[in-house]
Amino acid sequence: MITIAKIVLTTDETLTSTYRNVPLLDFLGCAPYDKLPKWVFRLLDTQIPDDNGVLTQAPYGLRKVEAALLRCFPRNEVVVAHPRKIEMFLDKDTEIVGLYEMDPLGLGPVSMMFTNGGQWRNYTSVKFRELIGKINEIREKKKLDFKIVVGGPGAWQLEMRREEREKLKIDHVVIGEVEHVICDLVNKIMEGEAEDTIFVKGWPKVEEIPTIVAPSYKGLVEVMRGCGRGCRFCEPNLRVARFIPIENIEKEIQININAGIDHAWLHSEDIFLYKVEDRKNFYPNADAVIELFEMARKYTKNVNPTHGTASGALAVPGMIEEISRIVEASDTHWIGIQVGMETADPEIIGKLMNNKMKPFSPEEWPWVLLNATYVFNKNYWFPAYTTILGLPGDNDDAEIMTARLIITMEKELEEKLGNRAHFTVTPLAFVPMGVLKGEEFYRVEDMITYGQFLHLYYAWKHMAREIVKGLPKVMKGSPFLIPFYPLARLGVRVVLRQIEKWGKKRGFEVKKLEPLDIRIEVEEHKWTTRPILAEAY
């Protein structure tokens, strides 16, 4: 039986798509909608099933909001609806329609890179506008007076572009973590006493963060909030670090496993800082991190972290080795992890991210990245690095150094590990966030320099190599991809040629670069769970 809920929660369709369970296709939402054939989106965008309109899995942030609301509202007054079925739950009793959004206007770093600095529409912004339009149409047609409220990591975009939110008839935008204030916040909105933009002060304490009550998309569970490293461009890293108790994490894994989700994605800004005690040098608490993976492994072999740092992995290589043993990592079972490389330049990393390389020094940063990748690969971890074009203080020497580091990593790792050497580097556009909000958005078409061009070119050149040698391994678990392998190989070659042509129009020629003068120096006898000082090398 369908309930007309007082509070209806939902999100746009790019966050409820399974993307045919193909790794990395979650980034399809960042793709330029106007530049790709529409059949690509129709073919790849497969949706999470619903149970009479209710999402059977939902984005993790939405599940947290749901759990927090259930502390002050009965179950029958709160529903998490599939965006394609939202009309089933909207009527005169509905008071709030809440949307959880990651990138509603396409201003995120990945989208800004793929849409030429926002000049084209990304898929997420298209689906967000479709959803808002649908909700507004229902509200006007039925003469309903519920409030449309948008929150989530991308809510800042609607505050930045107020003219857009007014066109979309969005009543309230909520910015910040809400679990500790959501009951008062919702009541104020219902009573008409809330501001148009609600900036939530402070953060919830660990005990104020509820455990989810229903399955999260892809089995994602949060192990910590914030980071503590304090990178100046990164909003999450500026928050106070809080560690979720392992028993709460276990409860959430159990909820997902009981729902048939055979995966545990351990989400954090840096998995190697879970329960860190050394806040000065950021040596990982290896025992706590290992215990976390041991607990998750009791329920599934498919345990993956979302994000981590190269410095954390290299500081305690034995921690990586032990985790690989626990989850039975092998040539047919790799552990994926997203890692911020940002730049190879020690001066910029020291100025904008002076804790990112700790316990090592800024001067060691390129060496740290090379040796950490060796530690990852030797233990069957596949790091997907991101770099940033247009960082404040950027210069061509720094950009060329990043390109040379990619070349160095490719050469050194293949010499040491052969076919076990795997990594990708994805350049992103600088987006002014954190304490750098006053800076300018990076627009690749207008702002690219020669050094940035070489950085972009060599990153994609390595991506092409990785697709040729790495995609067949991925396809073993995704039969749907097999017919697309020849297309993917052709596609990356086309992309490289287009980058070369695009560069020539701007007077940029691809030139051969020399590797950096750094080497892999992780010695076997130093593989230990004890912290390793940089000076030991």
183 burial type by CB count under 10 A (0-12 exposed, 13-18 middle, 19+ buried)? middle
Q: For residue 107, give every residue at least 6 positions away whose Cβ sits within 8 Å of its Cβ, in sequence order, or none.
A: 118, 154, 157, 160, 161, 431, 441
**pLDDT at res. 198:** 98
**pLDDT at res. 389:** 92
% the chain with pLDDT above 70: 88
CA torsion through residues 420, 424, 425, 431, sign = negative
pLDDT of 103 higher than 60: yes
The distance from CA 394 to its chain's CA centroid, rounded to whole angstroms, is: 24
Mean pLDDT over all residues of the chain? 90
- Using CA atoms, how far residue 517 sits from 60, 366, 405, 485, in Å, is 43, 10, 9, 36
Which ranges constitute the DSSP H helices of 191-285?
Answer: 246-258
Measured CA to CA, the distance from residue 156 to residue 153 in angstroms comes to 7
Stretch (H or E) spanning 99? strand 96-100
| Residue 137 DSSP SS3 | helix
- Which amino acid does the sequence have at 50? D
The DSSP symbol for 216 reads B
Span 233-283, pLDDT tens digits: 555 555 678 999 999 999 999 999 999 999 999 999 999 999 999 989 999
pLDDT of 523 higher than 80: no
% the chain with pLDDT above 90: 73
Measured CA to CA, the distance from residue 452 to residue 399 in angstroms comes to 5
Confidence class of residue 344 from pLDDT cuts 50, 70 and 90?
Answer: very high
Span 466-486, pLDDT tens digits: 887 766 665 555 665 555 556
Residues 282/312, Cβ–Cβ less than 8 Å = yes
The C-alpha angle with vertex 310 and arms to 392 and 318, in degrees rounded to 5, equals 165
Residues 412/521, Cβ–Cβ less than 8 Å = no
**pLDDT at res. 486:** 60
> What kind of fold does domain 215-536 have according to CATH?
TIM Barrel (3.20.20)
Measured CA to CA, the distance from residue 423 to residue 384 in angstroms comes to 6
- Using CA atoms, how far residue 330 sits from 23, 379, 469, 482, in Å, is 18, 8, 16, 22
Instruction: Locate the domains of the chain by residue range.
Output: 7-199, 215-536
- Using CA atoms, how far residue 383 sits from 41, 340, 523, in Å, is 27, 9, 21
Confidence class of residue 1 from pLDDT cuts 50, 70 and 90?
Answer: very low
Residues 282/531, Cβ–Cβ less than 8 Å = no
Structure-model confidence comparison of residues 125 and 390, the more confident one: 125
pTM as predicted: 0.91
**pLDDT at res. 420:** 94
Span 128-178, pLDDT tens digits: 999 999 999 999 999 999 999 999 999 999 999 999 999 999 999 999 999
